[in-house]
């Protein structure tokens, strides 16, 4: 069920989500159009927020597929998610066995935030988190085998790769994990060993080589200050004490919501022998150290999103799944609470299928009654097996979550189609009416990355801003708030997705070319 659940409607919606997905698509598209794969740009201007590695991955998939479809954009994320699950399984099985390893992996994939949100989007975070998690696990494995040179070289190589995706967060994860783990094991001195410096040297060689090439195209003055500010702006420094204190209390509740329903396992945090279990099991102890010391950064950062810390939840779930099965052996109250809770979710999932063909928002779906029947019947069959096969309840519930995702694909995604598609078609039409002629963004006309992506894709020209040197022959992408009517000829009217801001494709007349009216600051 995993493959149809993840792939069925992967490319169905246009890339107008209010996320970073349009940014990833646009940066990759501008690299292809410009032929410059070293310096990321947006609207032809240097983009400093992220290094380009994930954009290179997107470009590779575009080239292999021979198209710029939404499915192609999102496919690298799906492949990374499946590889993430496989990586979890391969590492956890060595310590907890095949069954618990499989459950931890499928549990992570079927967490609410991933299954019903991030697995639809072509974002960096799942790929980034997979590689960071792999680095965590290799640190533990190679440390246990006392292969310190391999530990530092491989973990810093992965850190260099993830740095080339997202910048400073990769160094934070690496630094905290090494510092905490080696300090806990009373091996702090090994962090000053030549092997550690060899790993740092490898990191600097990989990252430095890229920026050596980058320097040929652009100064480095803004690169590292922007990467630092991207991390610093999410902290208390930028938001103040009130937002900081509020976030301390709301963060656990938000994480419980985002990783629902598996977050019910958090009940095992309140076991009296929680600390003893960690003390007796080195692998579980390592997972806890990784989770608790790395999550502090995000717990104390008011602007934190679940996708930033996907790599920290497999370590957490590894501990909780182990404790669940230990409690289950004793027929403990906590494992029974978890099982009854998951049973309730299964039943509610079956009931949710019943009104789908009747509701106005979902009843128009093709073969709605048949799909609702399949969903209801499948959920009831799984519920029956959940009751009968007590040893397999976790896996059966995961199958139920995948059925709910398929139902989500059938009934929740299609109603969103028109809202997104109309803006995609408007953007493509805005490009088509200009033919092969030049099209520029007039001064500070408001735009968004999804609109720019589709225009750039259709024209295969960069959509750049122009602040002077206007003429009557080029086309201009105009925010009508910047110029009165009568100064231009409207060629096409369209809108931005975000708040339906009216825009125009125009040609300026002589009055428009020389227009120098009051300056209006519009946030691009």
Q: 79 — alpha (psi -120 to 50), left (phi > 0) or beta?
A: alpha
Query: How many Å apart are CA 380 and CA 351, to the nearest integer?
Result: 9
User: What is the mean predicted confidence (pLDDT) over 399-407?
Assistant: 97
CB 316: neighbour CB atoms within 10 A? 25
Task: Give the CA-trace dihedral at 296, 300, 303, 306, to 10 degrees.
Answer: 30
Helix segments in 167-235, DSSP class H: 169-184, 194-215, 223-232
Query: How many Å apart are CA 401 and CA 403, to the nearest integer?
Result: 5
- Specify whether the CB–CB gap between 45 and 467 falls below 8 A: no
pLDDT category, 240, cuts 50, 70, 90?
low
pTM: 0.93
pLDDT category, 242, cuts 50, 70, 90?
confident
> What does the mean pLDDT of the chain come to?
92
The pLDDT of residue 248 is: 86
- 451-485 confidence digits (pLDDT tens): 999 999 999 999 999 999 999 999 999 999 999 99
Judged by DSSP in three states, 468 sits in coil
* H or E element at residue 478: strand 475-478
* Pick from 144, 165, 161, 143: nearest CA to 152: 143
Helix segments in 303-392, DSSP class H: 313-329, 333-353, 368-388
Judged by DSSP in three states, 466 sits in strand
Which token pair is 416?
Answer: 């969103």
Q: Number of H helices and number of E strands within the chain?
A: 20, 7
Query: How many Å apart are CA 120 and CA 139, to the nearest integer?
Result: 31
The pLDDT of residue 175 is: 97
Pick from 170-174, 216-220, 341-345, 483-487: least confident = 216-220
């Amino acid at each position: 069920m995993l493959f149809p659940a993840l792939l069925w409607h992967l490319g169905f919606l246009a890339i107008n989500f209010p996320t970073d997905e349009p940014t990833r698509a646009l940066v990759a598209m501008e690299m292809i159009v410009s032929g410059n794969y070293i310096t990321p740009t947006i609207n032809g201007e240097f983009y400093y927020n992220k290094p380009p590695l994930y954009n290179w991955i997107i470009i590779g998939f575009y080239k292999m597929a021979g198209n710029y479809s939404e499915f192609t954009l999102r496919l690298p994320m799906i492949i990374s998610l499946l590889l993430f699950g496989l990586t979890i399984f391969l590492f956890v099985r060595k310590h907890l066995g095949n069954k618990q390893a499989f459950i931890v992996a499928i549990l992570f994939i079927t967490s609410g935030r991933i299954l019903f949100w991030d697995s639809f989007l072509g974002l960096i975070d799942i790929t980034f988190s997979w590689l960071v998690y792999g680095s965590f696990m290799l640190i533990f494995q190679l440390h246990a085998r006392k292969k310190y040179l391999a530990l530092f070289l491989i973990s810093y190589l992965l850190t260099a790769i993830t740095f080339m995706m997202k910048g400073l967060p990769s160094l934070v994860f690496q630094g905290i994990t090494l510092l905490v783990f080696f300090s806990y094991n009373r091996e702090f001195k090994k962090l000053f060993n030549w092997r550690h410096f060899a790993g740092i040297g490898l990191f600097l060689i990989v990252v430095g080589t890229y920026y050596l090439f980058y320097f040929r195209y652009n100064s480095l003055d803004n690169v590292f200050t922007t990467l630092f500010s991207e991390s610093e702006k999410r902290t208390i420094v930028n938001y103040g004490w009130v937002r900081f204190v509020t976030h301390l209390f709301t963060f656990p509740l938000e994480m419980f919501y985002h990783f629902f329903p598996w977050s019910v396992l958090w009940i095992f945090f309140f076991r009296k022998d929680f600390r003893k279990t960690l003390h007796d099991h080195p692998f579980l102890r390592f997972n806890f150290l990784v989770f608790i010391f790395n999550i502090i950064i995000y717990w104390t950062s008011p602007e934190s999103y679940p996708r930033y810390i996907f790599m920290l939840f497999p370590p957490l779930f590894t501990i909780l799944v182990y404790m669940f099965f230990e409690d289950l052996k004793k027929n403990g109250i906590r494992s029974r609470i978890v099982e009854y809770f998951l049973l309730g979710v299964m039943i509610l999932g079956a009931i949710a299928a019943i009104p789908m063909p009747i509701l106005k928002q979902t009843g128009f779906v093709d073969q709605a009654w048949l799909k609702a029947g399949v969903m209801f019947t499948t959920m009831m069959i799984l519920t029956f097996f959940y009751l009968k096969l007590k040893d397999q309840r976790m896996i059966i519930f995961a199958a139920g979550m995948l059925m709910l995702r398929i139902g989500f694909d059938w009934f929740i995604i299609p109603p969103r189609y028109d809202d997104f598609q109309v803006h995609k078609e408007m953007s493509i039409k805005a490009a088509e009416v200009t033919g092969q002629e030049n099209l520029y963004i007039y001064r500070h006309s408001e735009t968004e990355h999804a609109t720019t992506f589709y225009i750039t894709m259709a024209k295969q020209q960069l959509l750049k801003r122009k602040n002077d040197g206007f003429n009557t022959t080029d086309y201009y992408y105009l925010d009508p708030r910047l110029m009165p009517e009568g100064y231009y000829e409207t060629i096409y009217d369209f809108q931005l997705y975000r708040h339906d801001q009216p825009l125009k494709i125009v040609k300026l007349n002589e009055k428009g070319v020389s227009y120098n009216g009051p300056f209006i600051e519009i946030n691009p």
